[in-house]
Amino acid sequence: MAKDMMKAVIEVDGARVSFGAVKALDGVTLSVMPGECIGLVGHNGAGKSTIVNVINGGLTPQEGTVASDGERLDRYNITIARGRGVRCVFQELSLCPNLSIVENTRIMHHELGGFGWRAKAAKVIEKSLDAVFPGHGIDSGQPVGDLSIAERQMVEIAMAFSDAGIAPRLVILDEPTSSLDASLARQMLDHVRRFVASGGSVIFISHILHEILETSDRIVVMKDGRVVAERPAGEFDHHRLVEAMGSVANDDAFQRSARELAAAPVVLKHQAAGLPFTARQGEIIGLAGLAGHGQTELLLALHAAQSNSWWPRRDPLVTFVAGDRRLNGVFELWSILRNFSIASLGDLSRGGVVRTADEAERGADWKGRIEIRTQDMDNGILSLSGGNQQKVLFARALATRAPVILMDDPMRGVDVGTKQEVYEIIRQEAAKGRSFIWYSTEMDEVRLCDRVYVFRERVITAELVGDDVNETNIIAASFEGVAA
């Protein structure tokens, strides 16, 4: 084929990246040819976002090289990447919400300087919006903060495909369709095919497998920071793709003990949109579905409904384990012990004064129970690895008297060993009669649950009990209405 003669737009060879003890990329080799769409799939945390960051110049691999057009680039960075036409649509919002669409276009395109840049920028972005999403109805003078989430995503996609002097050659789309409805997603995928047909390259990341299968020429499957499969899209189908991602192989790794809980008393009820939500004593309830489809909102609503915003309850019904440790989990400047005891200070104090002896005793007790790996609980929380920090947050929640524990995808970025230990603690505590409401983006964790609510578009669309809790059913429910 002629493609063999062509030089790769970007070629990453043997990239290794590690963040502390976590190996995010373990020797990844990937080359992107002109005129092809590469589908990149893998579970949460497989290293997709890391390789994307290496390709767009935001991250320099500790080992390995980046080459472009057959030329090895030793000092590769964002500016060089952009100069070579590498564009990226990120998972999270990467526009400035306080600026208008036109002004954001100015930020994205350095070339757009000089007098009258507003008119030029407006032309550039409107042309691209019209090409990708005909009939979009978005006014380019509006501030991005005033747009709906879908509109923001449309603008971001159009921004990546827009041309203000340096034509886009490689566009990386990281979960671009997550907040688009079916017809908008269709428009975008059609545009990807047109772009590829005209000689451009696309790296397409999505959890919606049929989109990957029908849009890509070649599919790269990643797992644990490595490329585990790389074949033309025609050789994959839905089942084989899931198999290659490696989630079927370890089916027996986590066995859920069947428990009969239908008779247990109900501890929590909530009428959200869709099916009603109930939690029984001693139950582990999973909140599943695609990330960002309303699971966290339900947890927050449950917490808000059970707590008073003026004065803390004496005996709180619920407690919360945060998912984003850095953002709303740990107190970075505090010791491990203080981080642990903050939620149960009410129990540990008399007359408004904390009894430090009791605090230390309880800390030592929990340190042993969940094996926090530290010599001294008075060390700073940041001296612990991420997994151990998460254990401290678990201990914080478990040490309270609250019978219901809300968990907001707390295992993000935690190593496998720690996960197993925490799963065991959860099982033990559930056996003692505590209820867990657990939002997780990982299938393995959802399958540990006694009952699972599946979310779709901020609504509970399905409830799975007992043996129905399996990957096939969850995926089927998560994609309900989209696959059709």
Partner 1 sequence: MKLRLTSDAMRLLIPALSMTVLLAAVFWLQPRAMSYFGLNLLLNLAVPIALATIAQMLVMAVNDLDLSIGAFVSFVACVTATFLRDAPLIGTLILAGAVGVYALIGVVIYLRNLPSIVVTLGMSFVWAGLAVLMLPAPGGQAPDWVRWLMTVKPPLMPMAIVASIVIAIVAHLIVMRSSLGVLIRGVGGNQRSVERAGWSIIAARAAAYGLAGLFAVAAGIALVGLTTSADANIALRYTLLSIAGVILGGGEFTGGRVSPIGAVIGALTLTLAGSFLSFLRISPDWQIGAQGAILIIVLALRLVFNRVEKRGARP
User: Would you tell me which residues interact with partner 1 (CB under 8 A)?
Assistant: 56, 58, 78-79, 82, 88, 90, 93-99, 103-104, 106-108, 110, 112-113, 117-118, 141-143, 145-146
Minimum distance of partner 1 from residue 114's CB (angstroms):
8
Give one word for 467, left, alpha or beta, with left for phi > 0 and alpha for psi -120 to 50.
alpha
- Give yes or no for a contact between 41 and 205, defined as CB atoms under 8 angstroms apart: yes
Instruction: State which residue, 63 or 146, has the beta carbon closest to partner 1.
Output: 146
Q: Token match 């008073």: residue?
A: 308
Q: How far, in Å, CA of 205 to CA of 366, rounded?
A: 41
The answer to whether residues 386 and 394 touch, using CB atoms and an 8 Å cutoff, is no
How many helices (DSSP H) and strands (DSSP E) are in the chain?
A: 17, 20
| Nearest residue to 215 (alpha-carbon basis) of 241, 194, 244, 231 | 194
Q: Which of residues 64 and 143 has its CB atom nearest to partner 1 in the complex?
A: 143
Nearer to partner 1, 146 or 235 (CB): 146
Distance CA 152, CA 155 (A): 5
Q: Which is nearer to partner 1, 105 or 339 (CB)?
A: 105
Comparing CB distances to partner 1, the nearer of 104 and 187 is 104
User: Minimum distance from CB of 348 to partner 1 (Å)?
Assistant: 32
For the bound state, the minimum distance from the C-beta of residue 99 to partner 1, rounded and expressed in Å, comes to 6
Angle between helices 117-132 and 149-161 (to 10 degrees): 100
How open is the CA angle 371-376-380, to the nearest 5 degrees?
100
99 or 425: CB nearest partner 1? 99
Q: Closest distance between partner 1 and the C-beta of residue 81, in Å? A: 8
Shortest Å distance, C-beta 267 to partner 1: 32
Cα 255 to chain centroid distance, Å, stands at: 25
What's the closest the beta carbon of residue 377 comes to partner 1, in angstroms?
28
d(CA 467, CA 450): 9
Tell me the torsion sign for CA atoms 133, 138, 144, 146: negative
Closer by beta carbon to partner 1, 96 or else 266: 96
- Least distance from C-beta 79 to partner 1, angstroms? 4
